[in-house]
Amino acid sequence: MEKSKSLGQGHARNTGIALDWDVIEKLSVNRSAVERRAGSIGGRRSVKKQWQTAWLLKAITTIDLTTLAGDDTVNRVKRLCAKAKQPVRQDVLKQLKAQDLEITTGAVCVYHLFVATAVEALKGSGIPVAAVSTGFPAGLSPLETRIAEIKASVKAGASEIDIVIERHMVLTGDWQGLYDLVALARKSCGDAHLKVILGTGDLGTLTNVAKASMVSMMAGADFIKTSTGKESVNATLPVALVMVRMIRMYLGMTGFKVGFKPAGGISDAKTALLFMMLMKEELGNEWLQPDLFRIGASSLLTDIERQLEHCATGRYAARNYQPLV
C-alpha cells in the first residue's frame, strides 16, 4: 500500500460548529504574559547530540517545502519535488543510521499553475501537494474567482488547499463575514484539507489573532496558519502561542483536533526547533506529527541539512553543497 502523509490521519476531521458569539466576544489576550511565556521557550529545554539529530529529522517531515516566486518554472517545481522525496543525502543518513526511516518532507506547496506538475512529479511517493489559493497573498480578488481557483486546484490533484482570509474582516470585527468565507472555502475543498492563512502580521493585535483563529476553526479549518510569507512580519513565537492555545481551547470545546502551520521567516534549524518545542509543551507529542503540524518554508531545509551533516561528520558543509533546487 502506498504510504501517505495527508492531513487528518488518526483523528476525525474538523467539521466546524456554529459561530459562537459568546466565545468570540470574551476572547482577550494579555500581550505581556504571552511575550514572557514565549520568551521562556528554548530556555526550558535543550536538545543535544543524538536527540538533536532526531528532532532535526522530525522537523524535515513537517516541512511544507514551498516555492511561491514570480519566476517559478515547471523545471524548478520538478526539482523541488525531487528534493522533497530525498531531502537529505543518503551518505549523511547512513552515517546517522537513519537510512531506513524513509524521511521526506510533509508536502510540497505551489501555486495553482504548478499543481499538476507537482502531482505528477510526486506520484507514488505519498507526499501531498498543497496549493495556495483565493488570490494569494492578499485574498482580495473576486470571490467567485477565488472559489473557482480552489475547485480547479482540487481537480488538478491538490489534496491540501492553503487559503488567505480578507484581513479587513478581522480589522473591522466582521466575524460573521470571516466565518462565512472560511465555511464556503471549506465546502469548496471537498475532500481536500483546508489550511487557513490569517496573515497575522496584518491583524494589529494578539486578541485579533485569537479571534480570527477561533472563527476559522468554527468554520471548519483543518489547519490554521500564521502568514503568507509576504507580510513584513511573519511567524513569531508570541503569535504561535496565541494560536496554539486557541487550538487547545477549541479541542476542549468540540473534541476536534486542528493543526497549526507557522510560515514565513523560519529559515534556520534553531528557529524551527523552537516552534517544535512550543508544540510539545503546549499541545503534546501528537502535535509534532505532520498531520497536525507543518512548517511553511523554502530555505529552512538547507540549514537543517547542514546541521545534520555536522551531526554526522563534525563539520559544516557550505550551503552550496545542499542546493534546494
* pTM recorded for the entire structure: 0.94
pLDDT class for 11, splitting at 50, 70, 90? confident
Rounded-to-integer distance, Cα 18 and Cα 41, Å:
34
Residue 43 has pLDDT above 80, yes or no: no
Q: Where are the domains of the chain?
A: 21-46+110-296
CB distance 25 to 185 below 8 Å: no
Tally Cβ neighbours within 10 Å of residue 315. 8
Tell me the pLDDT tens digit for each residue of 118-154.
999 999 999 999 999 989 999 999 999 999 999 999 9
Nearest to 135 by CA among 7, 264, 228, 251: 228
DSSP one-letter code for 201: G
For the record, the C-alpha cell of 162 comes out as 492553503
Tell me the pLDDT tens digit for each residue of 303-318.
999 999 999 988 877 7
pLDDT class for 247, splitting at 50, 70, 90? very high
Residue 243 has pLDDT above 80, yes or no: yes
Residue 33's contacts (CB-CB under 8 Å, 6 or more residues apart) are none
By the 10 Å C-beta count (0-12 exposed, 13-18 middle, 19+ buried), 171 is classed as middle
The pLDDT of residue 2 is: 37
CB distance 77 to 110 below 8 Å: yes
Residue 182 has pLDDT above 90, yes or no: yes
Domain 21-46+110-296 classified CATH 3.20.20.70? Answer: yes
The residue from 162, 202, 291, 303 that is catalytic is 162
Rounded-to-integer distance, Cα 13 and Cα 73, Å:
34
Residue 16 has pLDDT above 50, yes or no: yes
Run of H or E residues at 66: strand 63-66
Rounded-to-integer distance, Cα 320 and Cα 18, Å:
51
> Is 162 a known active-site residue?
yes
Lowest average pLDDT, out of 110-124, 215-229, 297-311, goes to 297-311
Residue 275 has pLDDT above 70, yes or no: yes
Run of H or E residues at 111: strand 107-111
Residue 114 has pLDDT above 50, yes or no: yes
The residue from 222, 257, 261, 303 that is catalytic is 261
- The single-letter code of the amino acid at 167 is R
Q: Which whole number is the average pLDDT over 2-27? A: 83
Q: What is the mean pLDDT of the chain?
A: 93
Residue 225 has pLDDT above 80, yes or no: yes
> Cell 514551498 appears where?
66
Q: Which strands form 160-164's sheet, in the order they lie side by side?
A: 259-261, 223-225, 193-197, 160-164, 129-133, 107-111, 63-66, 295-297
Rounded-to-integer distance, Cα 265 and Cα 115, Å:
24
Residue 1 has pLDDT above 70, yes or no: no
> Is 26 a known active-site residue?
no
CA atoms within 13 A on the CB side of 200: 27
The pLDDT of residue 315 is: 82
The pLDDT of residue 4 is: 44
The pLDDT of residue 132 is: 96
The pLDDT of residue 54 is: 95
Residue 48 has pLDDT above 80, yes or no: no
Tell me the pLDDT tens digit for each residue of 86-109.
999 999 999 999 999 999 999 999
The residue from 225, 257, 291, 303 that is catalytic is 225
Q: Which whole number is the average pLDDT over 28-47? A: 89
- The single-letter code of the amino acid at 173 is G
Give 3-state DSSP helix, strand, coil % of the chain, rounded to 5.
50, 10, 40
The pLDDT of residue 45 is: 65
Rounded-to-integer distance, Cα 298 and Cα 80, Å:
9
Tally Cβ neighbours within 10 Å of residue 30. 11
> Is 100 a known active-site residue?
no
CB distance 199 to 264 below 8 Å: no
Query: 116-154 burial, b if ≥16 CB within 10 A, otherwise e?
Result: bbbbebbeebebbbbbbbbbbbebeeeeeebbebbeebb
The pLDDT of residue 6 is: 59
Residue 323 has pLDDT above 80, yes or no: no
pLDDT class for 44, splitting at 50, 70, 90? low
The pLDDT of residue 3 is: 42
